[in-house]
Chain A
Amino acid sequence: MEQSLEKTRLQRIFGSDIWYSFTHNPTAIISALVTLGLIFAAIFAPWLAPHNPFDLASISIMDGNLPPAWSAGGDTNFLLGTDDQGRGVLSTILYGARISLLVGFSSVIFSMVVGIALGLVSGYVGGRTDALIMRIADIQLSFPAILIALLVDGVARGVIPSDMHTDISIYVLIFAIGISGWVQYARTVRGSTLVEKNKEYVQAARVIGIRPFTILRRHILPNVMGPVMVIATIHLAIAIITEATLSFLGVGVPPTTPSLGTLIRIGNEYLFSGDWWITIFPGITLVVLVLAVNLLGDWMRDALNPKLR
Chain B
Amino acid sequence: MDLLNINNLRIEFPSRHGTVIAVDDVTLTVQPGEVLGVVGESGAGKSTIGNAVIGLLEPPGEMTGGHVFLKEQGIDTLSPEAKRKIRGRKIGMIFQDPLTSLDPLQTIEQQLVETINLHLKLGEKKSQARAVDLLRQVGIPDPENRIKNYPHQFSGGMRQRVVIALALCAEPEVIIADEPTTALDVSIQAQILELMRRLCKDKKVGMLIITHDMGVIADITDRVAVMYRGKLVEEGTTAKILGNPDHPYTQSLISAVPRPDVRLKRFPMVNYIEAEGERKKLLDLSTHWLGKARDYKAVQGPFISLKNLVMTFVTKPALLKHNRVTFNAVDDVSFDINEGEVFGLVGESGSGKSTVARMICSLYRPAAGEVNFLGTDLTKIKSEKERDYYRRQMQMIFQDPFSSLNGRMRVMDIIAEPIRFHKLAGSNREVEQIVTDLLDHVGLGAQAAVRFPHEFSGGQRQRISIARALATRPRFLICDEPTSALDVSIQAQILNLLKDLQEELGLTMLFISHDLPVIRQMCDRVGVMKQGKLVEVSATEDLFENPKAAYTRELLDLMPRLDSLSLEGLEVENT
| A binding-site residues for B, Cβ under 8 Å | 1-2, 5-6, 20, 199-201, 203-211, 218-219, 222-223
Contact = CB atoms under 8 A, between A and B. Distances in A.
B421 A208 contact: yes
Given A207-B361, A207-B391, A201 B403 contact: yes
A190 B290 CA distance: 39
A234 B264 CA distance: 60
B7 to A, nearest CB: 34
Contact of A222 (B361, B396, B408, B446): B408
Contacts of B16: 20
Contacts of A203: 358, 363, 396, 398
B280 to A, nearest CB: 15
8 contacts: A1-B447, A5-B450, A200-B399, A200-B403, A204-B396, A209-B388, A209-B422, A223-B406
B398 A5 contact: no
Contacts of A5: 447, 450-451
Contacts of A222: 406, 408
A207 B406 contact: no
Contacts of B404: 199-201, 204
Contacts of B12: none
Interface residues of B, number: 34
Given A203-B363, A219-B406, A223-B408, A208 B400 contact: no
A86 to B, nearest CB: 55
Given A209-B387, A209-B422, A222-B408, A200 B447 contact: no
Contacts of B399: 200
A187 to B, nearest CB: 20
Instruction: List 6 A-B pairs, minimum CB-CB distance, nearest first.
Output: A200-B404, A222-B408, A200-B398, A209-B391, A6-B450, A199-B403
A220 to B, nearest CB: 9
B458 interface: no
Contacts of A219: 406
Interface in B350-380: 358, 361-363
B235 to A, nearest CB: 37
A209 B392 contact: yes
Contacts of A201: 403-406
Contacts of B403: 199-201
A89 B361 CA distance: 68
B255 interface: no
A157 to B, nearest CB: 41
Contact of B417 (A1, A200, A205, A211): A205
A271 B396 CA distance: 72
Given A204-B465, A205-B417, A207-B391, 5 more contacts: A5-B451, A200-B398, A201-B405, A209-B422, A222-B408
Nearest to B452: A12
Contacts of B472: 208
Contacts of B408: 222-223
B45 to A, nearest CB: 22
A209 B450 CA distance: 24
Interface in B378-415: 384, 387-388, 391-392, 394-396, 398-400, 403-409
B468 interface: yes
Nearest to B394: A207
B398 A204 contact: yes
